[in-house]
Amino acid sequence: MQHASSLNNYCMVIILICIITFFSTLVGGLFALRFKDKLHLILGFSAGAVIGVVFFDLLPEALSMGSSHYGADKITFIAALGFLSYMILDRLAVLHSHEHENPSGIKSKLGAGSLSIHSFLDGIAIGWAFQISTTIGIAIAIAVVAHDFSDGINTVSVVLKDKNNSRAAFKWLLVDAIAPVIGVITALFIKLPQSSFAIVLAVFSGFLLYIGASDLLPESQSQYPKLWTTILTIVGASILYFVTKL
Domain ranges of the chain: 2-244
- Pair 33, 156: CB distance under 8 Å: yes
Neighbours of 61 (CB within 10 A): 18
Q: Is the pTM of this model over 0.75?
A: no
Between CA 194 and CA 176 the distance in angstroms is 24
In the prediction, which pLDDT does 231 show? 92
pLDDT in tens, 36-87: 777 778 888 888 988 988 898 889 988 988 888 888 899 999 999 999 988 8
Between CA 48 and CA 232 the distance in angstroms is 7
pLDDT in tens, 162-200: 666 788 889 999 999 999 999 988 887 877 676 777 888
Label residue 167 exposed, middle or buried (CB < 10 Å: 0-12, 13-18, 19+).
Answer: exposed
191: left (phi over 0), alpha (psi -120 to 50) or beta: beta
